[in-house]
A and B are shown apart, each in its own frame.
Chain A
Amino acid sequence: RKEVEQDPGPFNVPEGATVAFNCTYSNSASQSFFWYRQDCRKEPKLLMSVYSSGNEDGRFTAQLNRASQYISLLIRDSKLSDSATYLCAVPTGGGNKLTFGTGTQLKVEL
């Protein structure tokens, strides 16, 4: 099993739709998880951190399921500007060394 695994997509959704991505991780000892957004191979930008069961920020909700070892990202009322690649990241090893999933591509269409 890969350390961090994501469905690459692409997810093509209409504007206003709700879309959810999952990310599975293999290290059951992981305590924190991150969702990053990456536009056109620019630098990843932190979207949300998840330290316990979940986190919510406006239209974005991240949830953690420790029993099944996955985190999810839910985007409500999708906007065209949400089109990007969403990267799941899990600290593995010392400090904040991150292992990334390959990313899930989202395309929001009119």
Chain B
Amino acid sequence: NAGVMQNPRHLVRRRGQEARLRCSPMKGHSHVYWYRQLPEEGLKFMVYLQKENIIDESGMPKERFSAEFPKEGPSILRIQQVVRGDSAAYFCASSPPGQGEDEAFFGQGTRLTVV
């Protein structure tokens, strides 16, 4: 049973380009969460998705950031027109279906560097 898979592990983008980060949850998990960790800071929640639905996007910046979790395929976090301040580690986590407060398991993260 593979864990949460994220790719790419490292991504370098020039200012103004688009960044696409992918996350495949653990088998049997239908809830996906994206977190961002800026240098020297803690993990901050960005968005919570279930298949084809955004449940909570309260942590997403208002502009340039979007997320989806289609019926088929991985969840995608998309950052348009990247700026240097977007450089961070982006972690995806997944948890099983249900309303309980279950453990969440993290992928290895994507380290985005904007040059």
Contacts and interface: CB of A to CB of B under 8 A. Distances in A.
Interface residues of A, number: 24
Interface of A: 30-32, 34, 41-46, 49, 87, 91, 93-103
Nearest to B33: A97
A103 B42 contact: yes
B42 A96 contact: no
Interface in B71-102: 89, 91, 93, 95, 99, 101-102
B48 A46 contact: no
A45 B109 CA distance: 12
Interface of B: 31, 33, 35, 37, 41-45, 48, 50, 55-56, 58, 89, 91, 93, 95, 99, 101-109
Contacts of A97: 33, 45, 48, 56
A44 B89 CA distance: 12
A94 B53 CA distance: 13
Q: Main SS of the interface on chain B?
A: strand
A91 B45 CA distance: 11
A96 B101 contact: yes
Given A46-B105, A96-B102, A41 B89 contact: yes
A43 B103 contact: no
Contact of A87 (B31, B43, B55): B43
B43 A44 contact: yes
Which of B45, B50, B101 has the most chain A CB atoms inside 10 A of its CB? B101
Contacts of B55: 94-95
Contact of A42 (B43, B44, B103, B109): B109
B102 A100 contact: no
A40 to B, nearest CB: 11
Nearest to A32: B101
A97 B101 CA distance: 9
Contacts of A101: 42
A46 B103 contact: yes
